[in-house]
Amino acid sequence: MTIPESRVRVDLGSRGYDAVVGAGLLDSLGERVTRSAGSGPGSRVLVAADDGLPTQTVSRATRALEAASLKPILHRVRALETEKTFGTLEQLLAAMAGHALDRREPVVALGGGIVGDLAGFAAAIYRRGVPVVQCPTTLLAMVDASIGGKTGVNLLVQRAGTPELQKNMAGAFHQPRLVVADVEALRSLPDRVFRAGLAECLKHGMIAADFGDPGLFDWTESALARILARDAATLAELVTRNVRVKAAVVGRDEREEADEGGRALLNLGHTFGHAIETLPDLSPDGNPASAPLQHGEAVALGLVAAAACAAAAGRCPPELVQRVKEGIHRAGQPTAVRGLPPTDGLIRRMMHDKKVLAGQLRLVLPAALGRAAVVADAPREAVAAGIDAIRA
Ligand SMILES: NC(=O)c1ccc[n+]([C@@H]2O[C@H](COP(=O)([O-])OP(=O)(O)OC[C@H]3O[C@@H](n4cnc5c(N)ncnc54)[C@H](O)[C@@H]3O)[C@@H](O)[C@H]2O)c1
């Protein structure tokens, strides 16, 4: 069965671009890069490729570039948070400079969110900016990281004598010329990484009513069996609908400047999630061997906590908590975790979140299924109720 390609416009005026979603798109990557980045025959293309990708996926992309008379230069990138650093960025920039790439020769980011963020940042600053085409290969990168132009690296910061990895502390907004999401690439994705992306899809479902897709959460839940079986047509629909939501959010608030109704809504579940993500001993299934939590698992728990907090604050109907829990459980993600530290300590950790403004905890809380709002004055007891809801 051939799966029709779908195209979502990320409407940002002169910085606008398309995200194309389909199966087998990497085989026509060359023409797509030529058209979107304006690369002429013989132009070189720096392909920053995720080292976790099967060789076959990488060679499909490079062969397609060659077939369009482009000259790919392959640079492998290790997809590790600890290596999403200025050191790795510098190696990438040095490779570009070593080949004397000019300002019109594009970068192709082929990989998960780490590679997309690093290669996007390199494209933002090499010779003060060159075109980038994002080719996401994880579910999270397809539905989230590749859309919207946020690029960057982590910083290792000394706090009270202890080194702390601060995520995405340095970066730039640099919109891609095109996003190519080939769902066939998802076949090789490890199960736990795939499910982490699914948590972000459920998060989109919890805000999608204000961005044109009120039925997204229900549809995702009903399609879970086909999604988890990685049925290509269902994955294409999942990615397309989620890209539409992300594109609509970004179209309204490109640089996360709006106080309400913009990119900040994408932090639903993240303030709770960040507070537990870096606790090394927490495990999604109670088995110490599965510790620590992955980002998506922390977000899944954060979504439950946010719903419980909203219900305790009287901001959403209590039934919503159960609804959210069911969806997350059916997606194979944790809804509660053993060994959470005391609530006071966790609230203090939440206060360290970069979204805290002038010492005030700003939470994104659901109001109904598909709707959420930024809340600056959630009572402490409601925040505590959110945390207690995810204690196993
Ligand atoms: N720029 C943004 O707007 C934005 C948004 C969300 C997240 N992010 C960033 O994205 C990163 C997380 O991205 P992620 O979830 O894609 O994880 P990731 O980039 O860490 O990739 C996860 C793992 O999957 C492997 N992999 C990638 N594609 C594969 C494939 N097709 N088959 C087999 N293995 C594959 C990678 O090698 C890695 O081991 C974080 O650094 C986060 O800060 C950025």
Residues 37-91: tens digit of each pLDDT: 998 899 999 999 999 999 999 999 999 999 999 999 999 999 999 999 999 999 9
Tokens 């989230």 found at = 144
Report which ligand 1 atom has the smallest distance to the Cα of 78: 37
Q: Is the CB of 254 under 6 A from ligand 1?
A: no
- Distance (angstroms) between ligand 1 centre and the Cα of 194 equals 10
Q: Is the CB of 273 under 6 A from ligand 1?
A: no
- Distance (angstroms) between ligand 1 centre and the Cα of 360 equals 31
Q: Which of 25, 29, 75 is nearest to 53 (CA)?
A: 75
Token pair listed for 121: 């940042």
pLDDT at 358: 66
Pocket mutation for ligand 1, best pick of 117, 138, 245 (most atoms within 8 Å of C-beta): 138
pLDDT at 74: 98
Across the chain, which has 392 residues, the per-10-residue mean pLDDT values are: 92 97 98 94 97 98 98 98 96 98 98 98 98 98 98 92 89 98 98 95 98 98 97 98 98 93 94 92 94 94 98 97 97 96 92 68 95 94 97 96
Residues annotated as part of the active site:
128, 150, 200, 246, 256, 263, 267, 270, 274, 295
Distance of CA 296 to the CA centre of its chain: 9
From CA 364, how far away is CA 385, in angstroms rounded?
Answer: 15
From CA 325, how far away is CA 305, in angstroms rounded?
Answer: 10
CB 201 within 8 A of CB 220: yes
pLDDT at 107: 98
Bridge partners (DSSP) listed for residue 22:
182
Q: Is the CB of 111 under 6 A from ligand 1?
A: yes
Residues 255-267: tens digit of each pLDDT: 999 988 899 999 9
Q: What residues contact residue 284 under an 8 Å CB cut-off, 6+ apart?
A: 290, 293, 294, 297, 333, 334, 337
Q: What residues contact residue 179 under an 8 Å CB cut-off, 6+ apart?
A: 10, 17, 18, 19, 20, 133, 134, 135, 136, 146, 147, 243
Q: Which amino acid is at 83?
A: E
Q: What residues contact residue 163 under an 8 Å CB cut-off, 6+ apart?
A: 156, 157
From CA 314, how far away is CA 317, in angstroms rounded?
Answer: 7
> Using N-to-C axis directions, what is the helix angle for 380-389 and 295-312, rounded to 10°?
130
Shortest-distance Cα residue to atom 21 of ligand 1: 112
- Distance (angstroms) between ligand 1 centre and the Cα of 118 equals 11
Q: What residues contact residue 114 under an 8 Å CB cut-off, 6+ apart?
A: 50, 77, 79, 80, 81, 83, 84
Backbone CA torsion sign across 372, 374, 377, 379: positive
* Cα–Cα–Cα angle for 369, 374, 375, rounded to 5 degrees: 105
